A = this chain, B = another copy of it.
Amino acid sequence: MADSVSRRVTLNDVARLSGVSYQTVSRVINNHPYVAEDTRARVLEAIEQLDYHPNKAAKSLVTRRSQTLAVITYGLDKYGPAQIMINVERAAKEAGYDLIFSNIHETSLESMRAAMESLEGWQVDGILAITPVANILCEELRALCGSVPLVQVDIPLGAQVPSAVIDQRWGSALVTRHLISLGHTRIAAISGPLDWFGAQARHESWRETLREARLTPVASLEGDWTAGSGYQAAGQLLDRGLNFTALVVANDQMALGAIRALRDRGLRIPEDISITGFDDIPEAAYFDPPLTTVRQDFGVLGNKGVEYLMERIADPQAAARQVVIRPALVQRLSTGRPCPERRT
């Protein structure tokens, strides 16, 4: 129980109570060797009794490190970044680091700079940036970080900077090939906002996979990750009178919207149109029909990111590498063989 009003308890208070010097108390706290067992015990007891907690500011001031990681995120209201964030927090705590946290609301360099500004003074030991958007330029970010180790999560595959990513191209190829193997030849798409790396990768990979199979993409529209935008995009695709039997949607929420749009027009899924999502949010299995999608393991991503950041803190000179995680196809009931005959 912390004293309510009084001065904070310091090293000296503990020292006085246990009858040793402040230095000895410091040694006990930091588990230095060469402290007699009974001394240690006495000090520990005093610490307990006074409810002493080392002042991190003071420690950080002299050691020039803070046992603190900064997490910078963008798009925390989206499923992916939020999941990553949660897992990063867990991993960081387990590694004994505190977290100071900053979400960026616009993708401007300015707001990025503002976020960094607030970290500059904290002497953070490392920075983990969840920057899934293209125009938060990696280079700028690296410059802003100066010599503080930085690991980026959710950036393009193949980027030559320390990072942890999910191979989105792979995931997109997975669903697209799945549809092709079912016999679909006329495949449309709804992409995410194309300034997101992931959206871009999924989109390009969709195109390429079709090309490899000597198929021409029917059409694609850009959504903003929300169910509403998926609804609209699917509606437009249909309104244009386009003829397709499968729809590759860049995330599960938009797929939900798209499903509704198709239903509204009396189309059956998957009999008339097969539909796929991306992410495998927990609800996807309960869509109607259950959604065939791509599972991304954000937990692993967060862990790997932190793990790698630790590595870089320990050895900042080590060559940059990229930790890559592969997503997996989750086959459910929203995809099926195309019907020989079709509607309108």
Contact = CB atoms under 8 A, between A and B. Distances in A.
Tell me the number of copies of this protein: 2
A195 interface: no
A286 interface: yes
A126 to B, nearest CB: 15
Interface in A80-105: 82-83, 85-86, 89-90, 93, 98-103, 105
Nearest to A260: B286
A19 interface: no
Contacts of A4: 146-147
Contacts of A256: 283, 286-287
B53 A57 contact: no
Contact of A56 (B54, B121, B227, B288): B121
Contacts of A257: 283, 286
B77 A122 contact: no
Contacts of A285: 227-228
A131 interface: no
Interface stretch (A20-28, A58-66, A185-193, A319-327): A58-66
Contacts of A318: none
B77 A86 contact: yes
Interface in A180-222: none
A253 interface: yes
A228 B282 contact: yes
B228 A286 contact: yes
A121 B58 CA distance: 9
Contacts of A145: 2
A286 B277 CA distance: 15
Contacts of A99: 100-102
A239 interface: no
A344 B297 CA distance: 43
Contacts of A3: 146-147
B286 A288 contact: no
26 contacts: A2-B120, A2-B144, A2-B146, A3-B147, A55-B121, A57-B58, A57-B66, A57-B123, A59-B121, A68-B100, A82-B82, A89-B102, A98-B100, A99-B102, A100-B101, A226-B282, A228-B285, A228-B286, A230-B286, A253-B282, A253-B283, A256-B286, A257-B283, A257-B286, A259-B288, A260-B286
